[in-house]
Chains A and B, each alone.
Chain A
Amino acid sequence: MTEGDKPMQIVQIVVFKVGGLEYAVGIEQVQEIIDRAEITRVPHAPDFILGVFNLRGKIVPAIDLLRRLGLGSTSQTAQIIVEVATEDHTIGILADDVTETTEVDVNDIEPPSVMIGDTSQKYIKGIVKIEERLMSLLDLEALLSMDETTAGERQVR
């Protein structure tokens, strides 16, 4: 929702589909979009990390976004990998489809509502509304911060 007194501030986002829902990341964080490569499982890794794959000589972890958000799993069907990079990590997010690359006004991004649910909320920067579609803008830094997840999970059971 645009508030009249704020100047327009355009950001570019990449929108992709995972498990029927749409997610978005800032275009500056997207490295490239590739077909699903063969993923090597990493035993004892946190469950949302499906494994690692070879991206032109680089070893990149592949992430199951839905599992990270506590919404199930996408690993079986996803055919595309969206490679994203933060300061600390380069990872591939498995996706079913990449919908579009588009521009949105920062003012159209709403803070995540409490309603969305507890687990997923902390990994989301805001909700982008384009016409009737709603999509979650991912907070990759939070998504990839291992502080609270690994301590328990990486311990060998």
Chain B
Amino acid sequence: MDMSQYLGIFIDEAKEHVQAMNDGLLALEQDPENEQTIEAIFRAAHTLKGMSATMGFENIAELTHSMENVFDKIRHHEIKVTPETMDTLFKCLDSLEEFLTAITADEGGLPDVEHLITELQAHLEGNRPARFEVAATADQPQSAAAPAEPEPDLSLIPLTEQELDEMREEISKGLNPLQIKVYLDRNCILKSARAYLVIRNLEERGQVIRVVPSLADLEEENFDRSFEVVFLSYLNLDEVGSIIKHISEIEKVEIIPYPVPMESTPQSEQVSDQAGSSEQRGEAEHRQKDANASKEHATQVLHKSKVRQTVRVDIEKLDSLMNLVAELVINRSRLAQIGIEIKSSVFNETIGQLAQITTDLQSLVMKARMVPIDQVFSRFPRMVRDLSRELGKEINLIIDGADTELDRSVVDEIGDPLIHLLRNAVDHGIEAPEVRERHGKPKAGMVRLSARHEGNQVVVQISDDGAGIDYEKIKRKAIQRGIIDEEDASSLNDEEIAKLLFKSGFSTAEKITDVSGRGVGLDVVASKIQALNGSVDLESKPGQGSTFSIKLPLTLAIIQALLVKLGHSEVYALPLENIEEIINISPADLKMVQDQQYILYRGQVIPAVDLSKLFEVPDCCHEETDKRTMVVTKTAGRRIGLMVDDLIGQQEIVIKSLDKLIKDVEGFAGAAILGDGTVSLILDVLEIALIQRRLARKSQSEKELVAISE
């Protein structure tokens, strides 16, 4: 059978499992006794083993099998988790990742796993502690992951107290508690789909309390061919049975009443008591003591109400879908414009509906493309752990806002720059422990990685409480490298010096370590982020640490904008997210300070820019004495007032990028096509603020020059 068509799916899923193991191991290192963590790792290893064997990757299967053995022993407290075991397990994960990369790249030369397997074996045999006390987990059955046996008897699934409470309440309303075991046909191909059908059918007729194995496992086909459900319904045994049997590819259904103890008492005891007295059906034998095999996953508490069906979609398809929706939005605006002209109520009504559908479609496509940034963040704890061990530093990595969502294409690209900045923080930022102690800081350094939404942007910050940057040193280095000359250097402020770090050919680490300082500098980071239409800034306080702030667009395509007019005919779009307020001003409100106009806005002095003048609009029309409309904008925490000649209205626009020929022209974030088919430029408020400042500085220095020459 040709497996190549499944390869992509295999690799994606395998990566997820490796990541799950990685996360699990990191958690286990902190809390070696956590049963659920071990379970999760074990399951990931088990699934990966099965998958890779199916795909014919024997090496992966062997390696994961050995790993699984180790996890199994850990799970049964037969071996202890030592740092050495951890290191070996992490090494195994690295090998697995190498495998997957090699498979993706279609290279030969797969890494050798023999030594790792031997190493794992050594851990299996050594390190056998006396059995752990298992008091805390006595009522959580543990056993080998034998597949559920198709025996004709049912053993009760132990439920949590919470679930039992829930059931008691429903039983008092007259519902019947049932335990159902469903055997799928041996030849059933889509096992997970069948299981899903069964559960959905049940959910329509009652309440599903618990599914064993878990819904997630059912979904991933991590089960043999039977599964069990604890179910509450007004229906009786036979009715439920016939409902399930109506679904095709079901071989057999076994149903027993689930005995629910009416009082909250220690659970396992109660269950077996009740079980003894409720043998209503011959086939129902309750052997609580053996209730193990199928209860592999019973420790997992589930609150998901239904199986989530997902499909993996090629990102390119989503891209073209997005483009089509964008075209639709443009055409909708055009139709709306026509609607205004022809004044037909039927037409306009239809346009209204079309508009609604387009909006829904658009937000749906946008959502489909959004993924949590956790996809990138999740690999960092491991990386920082390894780095800190390597460098002999103690580092606490704090991650905030990993659930922040942004466009898939942005998430895909942001990984490398973040890795670079994190390495930078760990290597250059955080001092060695003894240095930290000397400066009266806690021995362990802190690196914080955070993500949050800010308007239509996502802000990712990497901060450390390390040494901060040495402005003098950077200046010296920049002079040494010929990036600036002595004269320039003396006139630079801290902000400008920090910007030097992003110029090419810069590395300030005094000794070259393996971690950074390989000549790839922050310039690469900066250009990568700019390519994503983002920006990166550095703020640093000597002795207190540095913060890198990366701003990224949330989505690439569609925004709300205010259309404004400059002169008689030029229309520009101003992103709504940048707008704080629209005010009317009279000339007297404008103050001139050093050739730059300012205005007092809510007690704050903000620069005022006359856009028509700045953009040299040809038919500029207003008199000095005219009242003006000012759009107060806010970006990057800075306010700036933009004077415009007229307001047209709010509109949804599709951001189109500008040709490279004009990409370097400052002040514009892109262009949009308006309802009448003409093009409108989208103002980039941040850049306008920068132009404005530069102009002010320039005119200032020109004045000084004049003064000197006079």
Interface residues of A (CB under 8 A from B): 38, 40-46, 49, 51-54, 57-61, 88-91, 144, 146, 150, 154, 156
Contact A44-B678, Cβ < 8 Å, known A49-B662, A59-B658, A91-B659 = no
Q: Which residues of A contact B668 (CB under 8 A)?
A: 42
Please measure, in the bound complex, the distance between the C-alpha atom of A45 and the C-alpha atom of B662, giving whole angstroms: 6
Residue of B nearest to A51 (CB): B679
Q: Which residues of A contact B660 (CB under 8 A)?
A: 88-89, 146
Answer whether residue B691 sits at the interface, using C-beta atoms and an 8 A cutoff. Answer: yes
Residue of B nearest to A60 (CB): B659
Q: Which residues of A contact B680 (CB under 8 A)?
A: 40
Contact A40-B678, Cβ < 8 Å, known A57-B327, A156-B694 = yes
Check B681–A54 contact: CB distance below 8 A: no
Q: Which residues of A contact B614 (CB under 8 A)?
A: 43
Q: Interface readout for B636-678 with A: 1 if CB under 8 Å, 0 if not? A: 0000000000000000000011111110111110110100011
Q: Which residues of B contact A49 (CB under 8 A)?
A: 661-662
Q: Which residues of A contact B695 (CB under 8 A)?
A: 156
Residue of B nearest to A58 (CB): B656
Check B664–A52 contact: CB distance below 8 A: no
Please measure, in the bound complex, the distance between the C-alpha atom of A147 and the C-alpha atom of B660, giving whole angstroms: 12
Check A154–B666 contact: CB distance below 8 A: yes
Check A59–B657 contact: CB distance below 8 A: yes
Please measure, in the bound complex, the distance between the C-alpha atom of A90 and the C-alpha atom of B671, giving whole angstroms: 15
Please measure, in the bound complex, the distance between the C-alpha atom of A156 and the C-alpha atom of B658, giving whole angstroms: 19
Residue among A42, A43, A49 with the highest chain B CB neighbour number at 10 A = A43
Residue of B nearest to A52 (CB): B679
| Across the A-B interface, the 8 shortest Cβ-Cβ residue pairs | A43-B615, A40-B679, A59-B671, A59-B656, A45-B665, A61-B659, A38-B678, A54-B673
- Shortest C-beta distance, A42 to chain B (Å), equals 5
- Shortest C-beta distance, B461 to chain A (Å), equals 31
- Shortest C-beta distance, A105 to chain B (Å), equals 33
Check B659–A44 contact: CB distance below 8 A: no
5 A-B contacts (beta carbon < 8 Å): A40-B671, A40-B678, A54-B678, A58-B656, A154-B666
Residue of A nearest to B691 (CB): A156
Check A61–B661 contact: CB distance below 8 A: yes
Q: Which residues of A contact B661 (CB under 8 A)?
A: 46, 49, 61, 89, 91, 144, 146
Please measure, in the bound complex, the distance between the C-alpha atom of A88 and the C-alpha atom of B673, giving whole angstroms: 22
Please measure, in the bound complex, the distance between the C-alpha atom of A29 and the C-alpha atom of B665, giving whole angstroms: 26
Please measure, in the bound complex, the distance between the C-alpha atom of A156 and the C-alpha atom of B613, giving whole angstroms: 12
Q: Which residues of B contact A146 (CB under 8 A)?
A: 660-661, 664
Check A154–B664 contact: CB distance below 8 A: yes
Check B681–A40 contact: CB distance below 8 A: yes
Answer whether residue B616 sits at the interface, using C-beta atoms and an 8 A cutoff. Answer: yes
| Interface band, chain B | 20 to 34
Q: Which residues of B contact A52 (CB under 8 A)?
A: 658-659, 662, 671, 679, 681
Answer whether residue B330 sits at the interface, using C-beta atoms and an 8 A cutoff. Answer: yes
Q: Which residues of A contact B681 (CB under 8 A)?
A: 40, 42, 52
Indicate which residue in A38, A89, A150, A156 contacts B659 across the interface (CB closer than 8 Å). A89
Residue of A nearest to B615 (CB): A43
Residue of A nearest to B672 (CB): A59
- Shortest C-beta distance, B30 to chain A (Å), equals 51
Residue of B nearest to A144 (CB): B661
Please measure, in the bound complex, the distance between the C-alpha atom of A88 and the C-alpha atom of B660, giving whole angstroms: 8
Answer whether residue B570 sits at the interface, using C-beta atoms and an 8 A cutoff. Answer: yes
- Shortest C-beta distance, B341 to chain A (Å), equals 18
Q: A40-B671, A90-B659 are in contact. List 7 more A-B contacts (CB 8 A).
A: A52-B662, A57-B656, A59-B679, A91-B661, A144-B661, A146-B664, A154-B666
Please measure, in the bound complex, the distance between the C-alpha atom of A45 and the C-alpha atom of B659, giving whole angstroms: 12
Q: Which residues of A contact B677 (CB under 8 A)?
A: 38, 54
Please measure, in the bound complex, the distance between the C-alpha atom of A50 and the C-alpha atom of B574, giving whole angstroms: 22
Please measure, in the bound complex, the distance between the C-alpha atom of A59 and the C-alpha atom of B677, giving whole angstroms: 11
Q: Which residues of B contact A41 (CB under 8 A)?
A: 570, 618
B37-75: which have CB < 8 Å to A? Answer: none
Q: Which residues of A contact B694 (CB under 8 A)?
A: 156
Please measure, in the bound complex, the distance between the C-alpha atom of A89 and the C-alpha atom of B618, giving whole angstroms: 28
Residue of A nearest to B326 (CB): A57
Q: Which residues of A contact B618 (CB under 8 A)?
A: 41
Contact A44-B666, Cβ < 8 Å, known A53-B679, A59-B656, A89-B659 = yes
- Shortest C-beta distance, B613 to chain A (Å), equals 11
Please measure, in the bound complex, the distance between the C-alpha atom of A52 and the C-alpha atom of B677, giving whole angstroms: 12
Contact A150-B664, Cβ < 8 Å, known A57-B327, A89-B659, A156-B691 = yes
Contact A43-B656, Cβ < 8 Å, known A54-B677, A61-B662, A156-B695 = no
Q: Which residues of B contact A54 (CB under 8 A)?
A: 673, 677-679
Please measure, in the bound complex, the distance between the C-alpha atom of A44 and the C-alpha atom of B667, giving whole angstroms: 9
Q: Which residues of B contact A40 (CB under 8 A)?
A: 570, 671, 678-681
- Shortest C-beta distance, A91 to chain B (Å), equals 7
Q: Which residues of B contact A46 (CB under 8 A)?
A: 661
Q: Interface readout for B609-649 with A: 1 if CB under 8 Å, 0 if not? A: 00000111110000000000000000000000000000000
- Shortest C-beta distance, A70 to chain B (Å), equals 18
Please measure, in the bound complex, the distance between the C-alpha atom of A32 and the C-alpha atom of B83, giving whole angstroms: 68
Residue of B nearest to A88 (CB): B660
Please measure, in the bound complex, the distance between the C-alpha atom of A45 and the C-alpha atom of B666, giving whole angstroms: 9
- Shortest C-beta distance, A39 to chain B (Å), equals 8
